[in-house]
Amino acid sequence: MLIDSHAHLDSERYADDRAAMLARAWEAGVGMVLAIGIGEHASGMDGALSICREFNALSAQGAMFPRLYASAGIYPHNTPEADDAVLAKLDGLLAEPEVIACGEIGLDYYHDGAPHPIQGEGLIRQIEIAAARRRPILIHCRGTNESTDAWDDLLAVLEEHWRSTGLGGVMHCFGGGWEQARRSLDLGFLVSFAGNLTYPKAQPLRDVAARMPLDGVLAETDAPWLAPAPDRGTRNEPAFVVRTAHTLAGLLGVSDEKIASATTKNFMRLFRLGADVGN
Ligand SMILES: [Zn+2]
């Protein structure tokens, strides 16, 4: 079984064929998907939980879909929306058993959007809520072009406000260098690789992936974005995590079966999911 550890199943781009898309994932061997709850805006961060409940209910009646879990969080550029009411809503969502993670949250200095201090404040307020709810966090981090500026700020925040919780998290769609990967592992994070690992120009990222320990990696789609090669630019979907996992297996010198079992084990360990995948 493979797990897609990051997919935006609530995207409008699945409005017409969400069930068929999830059935394809199941047929491709994807047994579980973590649906990311950030919405288009913070007000929509409950969308992933709704989809999770809808399809898990159908699975309970015998339909063949991956088991779904959900996250909830305020995306870096939506942090200006993080007023007390929105943060209270986040807190409530993290109390739900299916909502196993807070995210994706973090820092994005690449795109113009929320001012950096607002992003930083939003990140800290959210990780305080996640810590109280004992939920690991899903981190989005992207610096200005080749700079490590966002990573430097992020890792400083995590050292000060998160390390002591012992909860760890996921560095989603990892795009940093070895130093950032090493420090992430040291903070108890898993490093998750997305479809960009397969792109021709991503050799530096593949070089980082090749150095990773097998117990520190995940594979994800970030669907509907980042379709792996050769479908780059088209709509991505969880079934395609198979290709990213295959690329990761090649880099680590293990079989596809081994990367599937390792990433599944890593995911279950981080989120403390038992064999019955309850919570
Ligand atoms: Zn995402």
Measured CA to CA, the distance from residue 123 to residue 136 in angstroms comes to: 13
For ligand 1, the distance from its centroid to the CA atom of residue 237, given in whole angstroms, is 12
Query: Which pLDDT score is estimated for 275?
Result: 59
Tell how far the Cα of 9 is from the centroid of ligand 1, in angstroms: 10
For ligand 1, the distance from its centroid to the CA atom of residue 159, given in whole angstroms, is 23
Residue 276 confidence (pLDDT): 52
Distance 220 CA to ligand 1 centre (A): 9
Distance CA 151, CA 140 (A): 10
DSSP string, 185-253: HHTTEEEEE-GGGGSTT-HHHHHHHHTS-GGGEEE---BTS-PPTTSTTS---GGGHHHHHHHHHHHHT
Residue 136 in tokens: 């690991």
Query: Which residues touch 226 (CB under 8 Å, ≥6 apart)?
Result: 173, 194, 195, 196, 232, 236
Ligand 1 centroid – CA 128 distance (Å): 21
Q: Is the peptide bond before 98 cis (omega within 30 degrees of 0)?
A: no
User: Ligand 1 centroid vs 40 CA: distance in angstroms?
Assistant: 11
Enumerate residues 6+ apart whose C-beta is below 8 A from 163: 187, 188
CA of 164 relative to ligand 1 center, distance in Å: 26
pLDDT per 10-residue tile (average), the chain, 279 residues: 97 98 98 97 97 98 97 98 97 98 97 96 98 98 92 98 98 97 98 96 97 98 94 95 98 98 98 67
Distance 90 CA to ligand 1 centre (A): 17
- Determine the pLDDT at residue 145: 84
Distance 75 CA to ligand 1 centre (A): 9
> How many A from CA of 225 to the centre of ligand 1?
8
Predicted local confidence at residue 277, as pLDDT: 47
CA of 61 to the centre of ligand 1 (A): 29
pTM of the model: 0.96
Distance, CA 134 to ligand 1 centroid (Å)? 21
CA of 38 to the centre of ligand 1 (A): 8
Distance from the alpha carbon of residue 36 to the mean position of ligand 1, in angstroms:
7
**CA 160 / ligand 1 centre spacing (Å):** 25
Residue 152 token pair: 């430097």
Ligand 1 centroid – CA 57 distance (Å)? 24
Dist. CA 207 → ligand 1 center (Å): 23
Backbone angles phi, psi at 193, to 5 degrees: -105, 140
The alpha carbon of 7 and the centre of ligand 1 are apart by a number of angstroms equal to 7
